[in-house]
Amino acid sequence: MSKFQSTPDRYASAAILLHWALAILLLFQLSLGWRLETFGPGVARFAAFQLHKSVGITILLLSLARLAIRLFVRRPAPLRGHPLLMRLASLVHVLLYVVMIAGPITGWILVSTAKVRLQTMLFGIVPWPDLPVGRGWHEPAEQLHGLIGWLLFALVLLHVGGAVYHHVRREDLVARMLPRMLVRRGAITTALIVAVLAMIGSLAAAKFWPFATSPAPAPVEASADNGAENSALDPAEPDNAAEAENAAAQPANAAAPINTAAPVNAADAAAAPAPWQVEQGGRLGFRADYSGSPVEGSFRRWTADILFSPDDLAHSRIGATIDLASVDSADSERDTMLTSDSFFDVATHPQARFRSGSVVHRGGNRYRAPGTLTLHGQSRPVTLDFTLDIDGKEAKVDGTATLRRTAFGVGTGEWSATDTIADAVTVTFRFSAKRQD
């Protein structure tokens, strides 16, 4: 028998499968929707909303499929009973379809008209478009979406109560929506109990679903294009703001920092700056505040060019080139958003470049490199502050910088406001290098 063919006493197999799948998903979604109200700003809230959107679209697609089967596939005749109860059962079924379809659609409208919009990625994999509706749809959709949640809860209680009522009266109604082998074995009561427990379990699953409180940087490979793992060092206070402004006049050559507080013997330090090769395992990360909570990320691919001599800091030079498409914030949907034209716009500006033409000693093993960062088609002064330690031909570098994303046009349109995403972004770097002479 076809999966899309009903009999006088049973629904089609496809209808049965969709019925139970939707029951589990709807209750999970209902519980998750209530839980969203308990999240404060941060990564966990972000992740929970992405799951809520993904499950909602899944419910919409499955509900449309279930509706098509109901409309075009003959179903068993309705069970005869009191006319009032029959009308109530029909009304509950109609309202369930309305809720299953209108709930996800109103949520889709909310996502499409939100002041701060994120690209919807179904389960972090499949991009889902926004609806072409205006901002005026947002408030009505928000009110309706909340009402639908409570209506769904009431309808589920009525639907389950009706099924239990008919089963207690020994009216063969539940069996119509159960796999045939369960019916043949007379396990209808057991199956009904399991089904109710499964629905309760789906409510509980959403209540306790684990959401990470902070994104963990993914392991990356390091080569000439260094793997980037972010750190969260605070930027040093600038000693002289004019140093950053002077960077624009410096030559745009590539170099990277190296020095030591320990004495450097003549064999290790030539008068002219020497080239240094960044070794594998370097890290280049960033940190921004989203709704008051830190969001960290990194770049998997970047290169650095270094010319450095502790005896000739004026001619030491630092350069770096970053592949912006390699951004990794431990969330594929957020990474897609960052590479879009609203942020990095990698299709037009695939790389960011930093160039500094001198290094300034700040005492001990602390140094500063005023330079120019070119990002998103904009060039602005940016200053690197770092510490350096040398042991023979080996050097270790650990540094930080701050920049204003709006100065580079990163975050356009609705993202240009700084109340949700802060303007200040901290960049951190850490790597080892070897002198090439």
Measured in degrees and rounded to the nearest 5, phi and psi for residue 333 equal -65, -45
pLDDT at 173: 65
Side chain identity at residue 257, one-letter code: P
Residue ranges of the chain assigned to CATH 2.40.128.110: 242-435
- In order along its 437 residues, the chain shows pLDDT tens digits of 445 555 556 677 788 888 888 888 888 888 888 888 776 655 567 778 888 888 999 999 999 998 988 888 777 766 666 778 778 878 888 898 998 999 999 998 988 887 655 667 788 788 888 888 888 888 898 899 989 888 988 888 887 777 777 666 666 666 666 666 555 555 566 666 777 777 788 778 777 787 754 433 333 333 334 443 332 222 233 333 333 333 333 333 333 333 333 344 444 444 578 899 999 889 999 999 887 788 899 999 999 999 987 878 888 999 999 999 999 988 877 888 898 888 998 989 999 999 999 899 998 899 999 999 999 999 999 999 999 998 888 999 999 999 999 999 998 877 788 888 899 999 999 999 998 87
Residues with Cβ within 8 Å of residue 145, at least 6 apart in sequence:
103, 106, 107, 110
Task: Tell me the helix, strand and coil percentages in the chain, rounded to 5.
Answer: 40, 25, 35
- Report the candidate in 429, 65, 132 with the shortest Cα–Cα distance to residue 283: 429
Between β-strands 378-391 and 394-404, what pairing exists: parallel, antiparallel or unpaired?
Answer: antiparallel
171: number of Cβ within 10 Å: 13
pLDDT of residue 171: 63
Residue 33: predicted pLDDT = 85
pLDDT of residue 256: 37
φ, ψ at 151 (rounded to 5°): -65, -40
pLDDT at res. 314: 87
Q: List, in sequence order, every beta strand (DSSP E) within 207-340.
A: 274-278, 283-290, 293-299, 302-308, 317-323, 327-328
Is CATH 3.40.50.720 the right assignment for the domain spanning 242-435? no
CA–centroid distance for 329 within its chain = 8
